[in-house]
Structure 1
Amino acid sequence: MECLNDKKLAEFLDQELTHKEELKIRTHIEECTKCRDRLGKCQMENEEIQAYFTKIVMPPPLPDSFVNKVRMQINESSKMSASVGKKKQQQQPKRMKKKFIVATTTAATVTLLLGASALVSPSVKAFITSLFERKTTEVSLQQAAKDGFIQSVNKQVTDKGIQLTIHDVVLDPTRISFSYSLKDTKDESVIFPSIGDPKNEIYIADLQGKRLASGGTGGVLPEDKQAEETIYIDQEKLPNHVVLHINVKKLGGERGLSNIKNMKILPDTTGNWQFKIPLDLQKAASQMKQKSIQQASFLDPKTKLKLEFSQLIKSTSRTSLDYQVYLSDSEKQQLKQKLAQTGLSEEMQRSLEGNLQNVYLGYQIVNKNGKVIASTNKEDQRKGILSPISGETLSNKKKRDSFPPLKNLDPYKIEVDHYSKHQLVQERVKLDLQEVKKKPVTISVQGNKLTFKIEKTKAPNDEVPQKLVAVGTFNSKIATDFPVGNWTWVMKDGTKTKWIHSYISNPEDKNRRYQMEFERSELKDLSKPITLELLSMPVYYPVKWETTLQ
């Protein structure tokens, strides 16, 4: 299976696919580190966006005196415009007169709003200013645009009656983000914007044509009928002058989507939409700051896991923390030997090996006054503290977490309080699904009591109207951090062995009571017993590692 495009990734996260498609994608994610990293990043970004918008407070209503003043100015402007229009009526058509009045009135209103915003509360001023900002799926990109690190493009290419418009580009030497929209020129209808098909090429090149970065992740802004695409830079930084290449060969083909906000869903359409957009990053590059990290290497003697921090980078749209987590060569060899004894196919072994090496760090970044300014802890995030977005894997196998840009890079301390990773286990659970359907069955799995039961799905027309779930209270050794929080199972049905994925819900439960849901499309037949084999489970490892920036 090819790597997931942005449309499929979004549909998967929004649960808009059929069960067969979900299973196919989940199997691919288990095997593909790149797509697994992208999925983790998208989910963390979704959490950040949701957390941000739950804090938004509408500005207070404008004072009556202010509103009346605006109305008076508009009326005076309209009268003045009408007077001017009468004098020039013989020289200008009536439609021009109306256009002139509207333009003058609009200009007067905008000017008055901007001028008067200094006389009202800061929240009102911020609200008025926000009317002129670029909207985006990520708060950090929006702030970079507000700070002036944005290049207007507004170029269109039309083919097969479909117009692709590139609106603008947010400039950051560590990532480039552009916004775009699609329109049907035949009826002027707006098309659901998506250019993430694998056949399309989106990349950054230097002035000699050498590719520096490609691919990316996207997001849709239904309210604005636009979308954005972000290319992440896998190097120290880009040259000051580069070219953004957008070569679109295929549009449409979205499945599982209905008409969204009056946007048309385009069928598979091939064509040729090409853009070459020169970008000037000189101003953005001048804002970049980097600091290396002292005492950056740590080793857990129990698991032989090694952690190395390298640097903290501040750019126009984010602050990034680079680090690497890995096992020694001897530990990797021992892991391969253990996997060979599982009896799984080589393909399944490779997939499980990647899952066992996936590590999640739990840490805080603390300033010189002892204040936590960024944290992976959910409790800290609920207090408004920045949440790092994890997910980027660089070509040198380093990880890159990012969060909204810090004001400066004063001496900071990084405190790691735990990490989570999968541990290889082999424990079989035999279930007679007919019996489970009649009455829940409680079984102890790795010291955790799980109650298996069959539940009906909520969707009335679901192709699989029932699901297997396991409810239990997990002990403190079990980790629930995303993206390592899910348990890895295989289902043995006679001579067949296949993945059956389980996904944990209720991650915020303080009593550590969770529900594990199993893949429905693999459990259509409840007439015979099955054997579930737990292959790996996420384990919580407390540590106390600290390091500082130079």
Structure 2
Amino acid sequence: MTCLDIFMLNAYLEDKLPLRVKQDVQRHLDTCSSCQIKFEQYLDELDPFDDEVEDVWQTEATVQNVMDKLPAYPMNVLKPIQKQPVQINWKKRSVDIVKKITIAVAGLAMVVTFGTAVSPTFASYMNGIYASINPSEITVTKGPYNAKQVVNLFDKKQTDIGVKKAAENGFVQPLNMKVTDQGLTMEINAVVADPLRIMILGSVKDSSGKKIPSFWKDQFSIITGDNVNEFREVRLKDKSGKVITRIDDKSQELLRWLPLPNGENFAYGYGSDMDQFFNEANPMPDELILELRVKRLTDTKGTWNFDIPIDMRPAKAAMKTVALNKQLETPTGTTVELKEARFAPTGTKLEFTTSKPDRKLQGIRYELVDETGTVVGKWDDMMHDDDRDDNLVIISESSGAGSYSHMDYTRREPLTSWVHTYMPMDLTKNLTLKLDAVYTAEKSTLQAKLPLAELEKKPITVKSDGNEFTFKSVKKEMEDDIAVYTIEVEGKFAKDIVGVPHDWNVSDDKGNNESGRFLFDQTVNEDGTSNITGQLKVWSENADVKELTVGFNAMYKEHRADWEVPIKEEKK
């Protein structure tokens, strides 16, 4: 077990750790003199009071009143520790601390009385404290924050399952930050952050208190890549104020984070891959600051500035990383390696790499199965987005060679690494990755000449590489000054061919290269072939095309595999 941090010490003192983890902590304290000294120092920080303070506040009525409300640190975690090199009377220290904390809270009651009367922010802060020490209101199961207080901030339909789960487990920190300018009030209500992503939840209100959607609507109406800095500037900083930049581009100080709707609120955050900012050489700090400078909301210019504190310690302590380093050799000779799995409050991340990067390797297909045989996650590089199972949500997918659209690989660079991030999963359920297919790109020789006058009269069938395409009809429509030719297509893929590019090579009878897009549906037959139906759309500035030559230079083949990788935490 690694040495203890403040978050773990707090959880241990407050008896919030599972039995097995608590036993691990106790065993660690038995043998680690460094952590014993740290624990002693930490208790000293909780024990700052002298006898004069005790005499001022210690009346029987006051102490009893506070004791009725204050949950003392449980004695079962403060029992004397045996076999320790440094002898400390833990029981006496713990009783003294509880006693003096009780006295201090009695004094604090006077501060609270006056503070809440003059400061709504202080009142909100104290309400959170008292909610956290009232056992009837505690709903947190893992993290440090009151789940009930935060979960209701999120719209059930528009919040992704990872953030929702993190909120329910107490890893979303409630905030009460407000700035008013030009009659508009911007609020930051919560922040969720872990080593996978950072997201804040906020809202904008007009002078009457009505919530307005301008902050996220601006993104999809009047904000562009060229003018985004006129609306807002966002930076990520460490506790000292140093700006954190991308590892691969230190010159990019500003972050272009994407706001999204969340009911009447907005969610604003950065993807699902914080590895762009942090790695082993540049570790994630325990505390961050998200600097948000909003300069314009729709047509209203103003100043709405926030320095949002982000405590990464709870989520970092909760994250589990399982090193896997298992390799599968593909038909191209390239290996796919499942490097590691990370289990964080907002999601579960699988990281893959390849050796000998090869354009032929185009994807994989696998399922994540728990110990009961239940499929809890699924990925297929050849699956259309519309066919995905919403109950097996993948939050995001990214590639070390750049993001790409599924089924459109002709211009993609060879993969070197990529990640799939799913909803939060339970590591204790002994997951297994079961990969049953690898996809490769095979060369295609299809080139079909389509005289449009002939196609208007009868279908044209072309065979190539075992595939068959029947171009059934053509229709021309004008969109402004652009001619759109829509060609109905039916066909059949050869055995184990599972797809072709959406973008086709198209040229007209005058040698002009045109834009062609092929969208299709397919049905797999028992013999491994597939029937397809679809449309090929061609956009041309030439409204009088006589003939089109169409084709593509790659097709995608499925190779069956049988590869299983257990994903489970090593027993210590």
- TM-score class, shorter-chain normalisation, is 0.5 to 0.7
Residue 158 (structure 1) shift: 5.9
**Counterparts of 2:167 and 2:513, CA distance in 1:** 51
Residue 548 of structure 2 is aligned to residue 547 of structure 1: no
Change (3 A) 1:419 1:150: same
Asked which structure has the greater CA Rg, the reply is 2
Unaligned runs of 5+ in 2: 1-135, 137-147, 247-254, 402-414
> Which residue number in structure 2 is paired with residue 501 of structure 1?
517
Residue 408 (structure 1) shift: 2.2
For the residue of structure 2 that corresponds to 1:376, the secondary structure is strand
**Counterparts of 1:410 and 1:144, CA distance in 2:** 18
Change (3 A) 1:226 1:546: same
The RMSD of aligned alpha carbons is 4.2
> Which residue number in structure 1 is paired with residue 459 of structure 2?
440
Change (3 A) 1:491 1:248: farther
Residue 184 (structure 1) shift: 5.9
> Which residue number in structure 2 is paired with residue 400 of structure 1?
419
**Counterparts of 1:397 and 1:246, CA distance in 2:** 34
Report if aligned partners of 2:360, 2:442 keep a CA contact under 8 Å in 1: no
Q: Aligned AA for 1:150? A: V
Q: Aligned AA for 1:242? A: L
> Which residue number in structure 1 is paired with residue 539 of structure 2?
521
> Which residue number in structure 2 is paired with residue 429 of structure 1?
448
Residue 212 (structure 1) shift: 4.9
**Counterparts of 1:542 and 1:154, CA distance in 2:** 54
Q: Aligned AA for 2:328? A: F
> Which residue number in structure 2 is paired with residue 132 of structure 1?
152
Change (3 A) 1:500 1:161: farther
Residue 450 (structure 1) shift: 1.9
Residue 243 of structure 2 is aligned to residue 210 of structure 1: yes
Residue 274 of structure 2 is aligned to residue 233 of structure 1: yes
Residue 445 (structure 1) shift: 3.8
Aligned residue pair count: 376
Report if aligned partners of 2:211, 2:264 keep a CA contact under 8 Å in 1: no
Change (3 A) 1:426 1:178: farther
For the residue of structure 2 that corresponds to 1:521, the secondary structure is strand
**Counterparts of 1:307 and 1:406, CA distance in 2:** 23
* 1:387-432 residue CA offsets vs partner (Å, 9 max, x unmatched): 4445223589521111111122454332211122433434311112
Residue 306 (structure 1) shift: 1.7
Report if aligned partners of 2:400, 2:418 keep a CA contact under 8 Å in 1: yes
**Counterparts of 1:138 and 1:286, CA distance in 2:** 23
Unaligned runs of 5+ in 1: 1-114, 116-127, 252-265, 333-355
Q: How does 1:188-207 map to 2 (within 5 A)?
A: 190-192=212-214, 193-194=216-217, 196=219, 197-198=224-225, 199-200=228-229, 201-207=233-239
Q: How does 1:386-397 map to 2 (within 5 A)?
A: 386-394=392-400, 397=416
Change (3 A) 1:454 1:275: farther
> Which residue number in structure 1 is paired with residue 554 of structure 2?
536
- TM-score, scaled relative to structure 1: 0.57
Residue 243 (structure 1) shift: 1.0
Residue 506 of structure 2 is aligned to residue 491 of structure 1: yes
Change (3 A) 1:451 1:406: same
Q: How does 1:90-489 map to 2 (within 5 A)?
A: 132-135=152-155, 136-157=158-179, 164-182=186-204, 190-192=212-214, 193-194=216-217, 196=219, 197-198=224-225, 199-200=228-229, 201-208=233-240, 209-212=242-245, 214-221=255-262, 223-224=263-264, 226-231=266-271, 232-234=273-275, 235=278, 238-248=284-294, 266=298, 273-294=304-325, 296-300=326-330, 302-328=331-357, 356=359, 359-376=362-379, 386-394=392-400, 397-454=416-473, 467-480=486-499, 486-489=501-504
Q: Aligned AA for 1:362? A: R
**Counterparts of 2:327 and 2:258, CA distance in 1:** 31
1 or 2 for the larger relative contact order (CA 8 Å, sep ≥6)?
A: 1
* 1:302-335 residue CA offsets vs partner (Å, 9 max, x unmatched): 312220111110000111111113545xxx5xxx
> Which residue number in structure 2 is paired with residue 3 of structure 1?
none
Report if aligned partners of 2:436, 2:561 keep a CA contact under 8 Å in 1: yes
Report if aligned partners of 2:151, 2:164 keep a CA contact under 8 Å in 1: no
- TM-score, scaled relative to structure 2: 0.55
> Which residue number in structure 2 is paired with residue 72 of structure 1?
none
Q: How does 1:44-83 map to 2 (within 5 A)?
A: none
* 1:169-202 residue CA offsets vs partner (Å, 9 max, x unmatched): 2222210122344556699673452465433444
Residue identity (%):
21
**Counterparts of 2:165 and 2:321, CA distance in 1:** 20
For the residue of structure 1 that corresponds to 2:195, the secondary structure is coil
**Counterparts of 1:134 and 1:458, CA distance in 2:** 45
